[in-house]
Amino acid sequence: MANSVATDIAKLWAPSNLARCAPGIALCCAIAAVAFTANANHWMQFGKVFIPPLIVTLIVGMMLQPLSTKDVLKPGLEFAGRTLLRTGVALYGVQLTLGDLVHGGALPIVIAICAVGFTIVFGVIAARMLGLTRDFGFLTGCATGVCGAAAAMATSAVLPRHANSDRDLAFSVMGVNFISTVTMVVYPTLHVWLGYTNFEMGVFLGGSIHDVAQVAGAGESLVQTLGKEPLTVAIITKLLRVACLLPAVTVIAWWVARGGEKAGDARPTPPVFLFGFLILAAINSFGFIPHGVQTTMAQISSFLIIAAIAALGIKTSLLALVRIGPKPVVLLLVETVFIGAMVAGLIYGLRHF
């Protein structure tokens, strides 16, 4: 498995692949550069109202959505939305130490495990109640509970193939990305209303938002007002959910097989960017990374995350979501409400422990 993962990474970063992806990557980086420039020059500050760079990036990206159909841009948009994002999250580890990862105690761990396990189970039950298939519940439940598009693709790989497999996967990826983007914008505004500490707000964001990019984006939007703690805790909590991907998908594959059905042949690969995050945090724990290098890598991390948000905006089609039909949309919405309410309730309930 390790050799296979190393080979995949080498192919991904091969000069020939980077050349193929260059136009799409350049577009996303240009949009991110516009957002960074606007932020540096305070162009998005209107009195007390501040529009974070990621929101600027998202809006500009969605305005350019018709470009997502251009063949010359597609490889780069995929690369930016996945590889640049994961690289940015991995590089964020340079700002942390292993002590930072555990300073909050068991709360992020408990939240992550509950968010994954209960949301997948709820997804299956809700799907059946809506007249949808169990497998569609697994697909959307895992995407909502674990890590968005990556979890949807990993789950699809172990579910039995059928005539609508590709359609269901496309909907899950697109729907989860869209809803997660909405929560990325809305949830940070709930800080005062929820009455959370900065740490608890980070746990809430990391425990309830579906995809890594949007968790990082939501945390980044609070840096100006609350400092880095919510962003740091949000990413840690989210990565704990990401770490549940392999066991979650393994259990789903076992559940499918025990019913006598043939599961998909593909198996999910380890989340390599999570290991990179932990390795950099471990190196930083020993003081081996100079402060200047930390600052530079932190800026690169933020830029890559915002470039990934640009790719997300370009690939988000509001019209395509409208055409899917009501029941799958309702399922994703109730799963989103479920995980958000459960995480919020657990944070309040576990204050006494």
Query: Which of helix, strand or coil describes residue 50?
Result: strand
159: DSSP letter: S
Query: Which of helix, strand or coil describes residue 42?
Result: coil
For tokens 């809305």, the residue is 186
What are residue 49's phi and psi, to 5 degrees? -90, 125
Please tell me the predicted confidence (pLDDT) of residue 266: 45
- How far is it, in rounded angstroms, from Cα 139 to Cα 167? 12
Please tell me the predicted confidence (pLDDT) of residue 175: 79
Please tell me the predicted confidence (pLDDT) of residue 316: 72
Domain-wise residue ranges, the chain: 20-352
Q: How many CA atoms lie within 13 A of 90 on its CB side?
A: 13
Q: Are 113 and 241 in contact (CB under 8 A)?
A: no
Q: Token digits for 53?
A: 């760079």
Dihedral sign (CA 279, 284, 286, 292): positive
Q: Token digits for 94?
A: 């340079």
- How far is it, in rounded angstroms, from Cα 129 to Cα 338? 15
Question: Within 10 A of 91 (CB to CB), how many other CB atoms are there?
Answer: 23
What is the amino acid identity at position 110? Answer: V
Query: Which of helix, strand or coil describes residue 349?
Result: helix
Block means of pLDDT (10 residues each) for the chain, length 353 residues?
Answer: 57 79 94 87 70 77 88 91 79 74 77 93 94 90 83 74 70 79 90 91 93 84 85 87 79 76 51 74 85 86 84 75 76 94 93 74
Cα angle 52-58-60, degrees, rounded to a multiple of 5? 105
Please tell me the predicted confidence (pLDDT) of residue 25: 94
Please tell me the predicted confidence (pLDDT) of residue 149: 67
Please tell me the predicted confidence (pLDDT) of residue 337: 95
